[in-house]
């Protein structure tokens, strides 16, 4: 039998991922487990024998899109029956009302599981047709952390690495503590082992993932390791050139971490520091546990230590009770802080969160009007920051050929700026010097400056 025939005999799976990097990485792990079992990944959902939806419950649109896309599979499932398997997992499945909706309105879904037990997927698929009942396996909370799961990376040269799971913060608009459980940190030695393996496999850049990496506390026989300690440990690993992390809660960001930005060359000079609002009243209602001035002080401290650092943020517009004056405070903070970029969100009700129960919801048209004004302020700041790069030579890790323009590459600077640039063939996965020749609101353009040493 030829390889091709053998390959075509294998079952194909397709994963659709909604939401954040944690979900993206969970999907990489599921893909790794299925490939290890002999399945083949396909980009084409139409030809898949197994379709998996990894869902998100943070944004309203994500779950609307999920149910819309799920519904499109009914016809194929009715035709192919047991030859076609539909699995749904992720944050939405940690909510009982969602599981109930699927059981009632989409009874042809084969497997339902949650965020705490993605490692069970191969077993759930094995048992699929041996048991009479639908495979529903949603753990209420994380039990032990399961190590050594394989992952099928999106890129050869960079990888996500989970360092912790869950969140203890209970921001009043957020469903994550309910869907991903309380904070659990991985042991530092397990993380180091994983990163060593990634480095041996050609990975140059790692992004450490956690809902609030600043509260990482890894426990081992040697004692407790905090987040800054962990960064230094990982920076010692040969082959790893860049370390990034997501996400950072301002209330827990330590001076030790700011020092690490200054002292550790491998720690990229970029921080995503969600502010969410610039009004103290709104911040209090959001249960963020800092004031706008606390945040300003923190940004000043970071910039004093590392002047070239790029800062991005998350902002929610139209939180319940937000007045025009509150919103003006947010605009003021955005203008003062001069962010490199910001993810801006319209507040949307998340069932099960304290903010959802409030009666003083902001009317949609008011939210949209404020949102547009905010985006304008953010874009102005991003364009200004990006223009300052023109003429500089930046080290760019090349992700691949550009999706937007033929004959060009795209990659990221140390400060996480997206750069489209021209260069000779074969640069993918390398860190190359790029002269920045142009800038717009969302990206930079340039050309390789290979005659120059970095």
Q: Does 171 bind ligand SF4 (CB under 6 A)?
A: yes
Span from 4-12, 162-170, 251-259, 322-330 in contact with ligand SF4 (CB under 6 A): 162-170
As a whole number of angstroms, the distance between CA 99 and CA 93 comes to 6
**Which of 81-89, 174-182, 331-339, 355-363 is the region at the interface with ligand SF4 (rule: CB under 6 A)?**
174-182
Stretch that binds ligand SF4, among 164-172, 196-204, 321-329, 412-420 (CB under 6 A): 164-172
> x/- contact string, 241-280, with ligand SF4 (CB under 6 A)?
--------x-------------------------------
185 contributes a contact to ligand SF4 by CB under 6 A: no
Query: Quick one: which of 169, 312, 413, 420 contacts ligand SF4 (CB under 6 A)?
Result: 169
CA distance 352 to 360: 17
- Is residue 130 within 8 A of residue 122, CB to CB? The reply is no
Q: Which is nearer to ligand SF4, 27 or 179 (CB)?
A: 179
Q: Min. distance of Cβ 170 from ligand SF4 in angstroms?
A: 6
For the CB of residue 274, give the shortest distance to ligand SF4 in the complex, in Å. 7
Nearest to ligand SF4 of 278, 429 (CB atom): 278
Closest separation in Å from C-beta 173 to ligand SF4: 7
Nearer to ligand SF4, 167 or 271 (CB): 167
211 belongs to the binding site for ligand SF4 (CB under 6 A): yes
Residue 338 near residue 388 (C-beta atoms within 8 A): no
Angle at CA of residue 32, ends 28 and 36, nearest 5°: 170
Q: Quick check: 52 binds ligand SF4 (CB under 6 A)? A: no
Number of residues that bind ligand SF4 (CB under 6 A): 10
Residue 202 near ligand SF4 by CB under 6 A: no
Give the one residue of 7, 170, 343, 442 binding ligand SF4; rule: CB under 6 A: 170
The least distance separating ligand SF4 from the CB of residue 175, rounded to whole angstroms, comes to 8
Q: How far apart are CA 95 and CA 353, in angstroms?
A: 12
Asked whether position 350 contacts ligand SF4 by CB under 6 A, the answer is: no
Peptide bond into 247 cis (omega under 30): yes
**Should residue 167 be labelled a site residue for ligand SF4 when binding is judged by CB under 6 A?**
yes
The least CB distance from residue 354 to ligand SF4, in Å, is 11
- Rounded CA-CA distance 359/356 in Å is 8
* Nearest in space to 168 (alpha carbons), one of 186, 183, 184: 183
Closer CB to ligand SF4, residue 211 or residue 344? 211
Least distance to ligand SF4 from the beta carbon of 176, Å? 4
Residue with smaller CB distance to ligand SF4, 176 or 317: 176
CB of 188 to ligand SF4, least distance (A): 22
Residue 176 is a binding residue for ligand SF4 (CB under 6 A): yes
Q: Which stretch binds ligand SF4 (CB under 6 A): 106-114, 163-171, 403-411, 417-425?
A: 163-171
Nearer to ligand SF4, 212 or 415 (CB): 212
Is 315 an interacting residue with respect to ligand SF4 (CB under 6 A)?
A: no
Query: Which range of residues in 91-99, 123-131, 166-174, 420-428 is near ligand SF4 by CB under 6 A?
Result: 166-174
Q: Which is nearer to ligand SF4, 168 or 440 (CB)?
A: 168
> Judged by CB under 6 A, which stretch of 167-175, 227-235, 391-399, 410-418 contacts ligand SF4?
167-175
Interface residues with ligand SF4 (CB under 6 A) are: 167, 169-171, 174, 176-177, 211-212, 249
């Amino acid at each position: 039998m030829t390889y091709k025939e053998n390959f075509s005999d294998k079952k194909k799976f397709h994963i659709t991922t909604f939401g954040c990097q944690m979900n993206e990485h969970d999907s990489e792990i599921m893909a790794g487990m299925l490939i290890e079992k002999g399945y083949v990944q396909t980009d084409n959902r139409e030809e898949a024998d197994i379709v998996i939806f990894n869902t998100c419950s943070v944004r309203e649109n994500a779950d609307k899109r999920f149910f819309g896309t799920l519904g499109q599979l009914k016809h194929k499932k009715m035709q192919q029956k047991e030859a076609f398997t539909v699995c749904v997992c992720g944050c939405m499945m940690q909510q009982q009302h969602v599981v109930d909706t699927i059981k009632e309105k989409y009874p042809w879904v084969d497997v339902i599981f949650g965020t705490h037990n993605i490692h069970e997927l191969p077993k759930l698929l094995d048992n699929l047709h041996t048991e009479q009942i639908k495979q529903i396996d949603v753990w209420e909370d994380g039990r032990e952390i399961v190590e050594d799961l394989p992952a099928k990376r999106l890129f050869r040269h960079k990888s996500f690495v989970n360092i912790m799971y869950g969140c203890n913060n209970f921001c009043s608009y957020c469903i994550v503590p309910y869907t991903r459980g309380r904070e659990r940190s991985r042991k530092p030695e397990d993380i180091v082992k994983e990163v060593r393996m990634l480095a041996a496999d050609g990975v140059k850049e790692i992004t450490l993932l956690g809902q609030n990496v600043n509260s990482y506390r890894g426990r081992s026989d040697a004692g407790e390791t905090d987040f800054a300690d962990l960064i230094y440990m990982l920076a010692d690993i040969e082959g790893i050139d860049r370390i990034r992390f997501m996400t950072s809660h301002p209330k827990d960001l330590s001076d030790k971490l700011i020092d690490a930005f200054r002292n550790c060359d491998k720690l990229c000079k970029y921080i995503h520091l969600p502010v969410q609002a610039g009004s103290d009243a709104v911040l209090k209602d959001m249960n963020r546990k800092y004031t706008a001035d606390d945040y300003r002080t923190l940004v000043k401290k970071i910039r004093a230590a590392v002047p070239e650092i790029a800062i991005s943020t998350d902002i929610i517009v139209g939180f319940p009770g937000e007045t025009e004056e509150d919103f003006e405070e947010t605009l003021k903070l955005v203008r003062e802080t001069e962010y490199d970029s910001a993810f801006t969100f319209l507040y949307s009700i998340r069932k099960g969160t304290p903010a959802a129960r409030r009666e003083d919801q902001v009317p949609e048209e008011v939210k949209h009007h404020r949102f547009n004004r905010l985006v304008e302020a953010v874009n102005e700041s991003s364009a200004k920051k990006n223009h300052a790069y023109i003429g500089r030579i930046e080290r760019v890790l090349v992700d691949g050929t550009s999706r937007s323009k033929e004959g060009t590459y795209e990659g990221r600077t140390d400060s996480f700026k997206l750069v489209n640039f021209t260069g000779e063939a074969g640069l993918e996965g390398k860190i190359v010097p790029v002269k920045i020749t142009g800038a717009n609101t969302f990206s930079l353009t340039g050309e390789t400056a290979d005659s120059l040493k970095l």
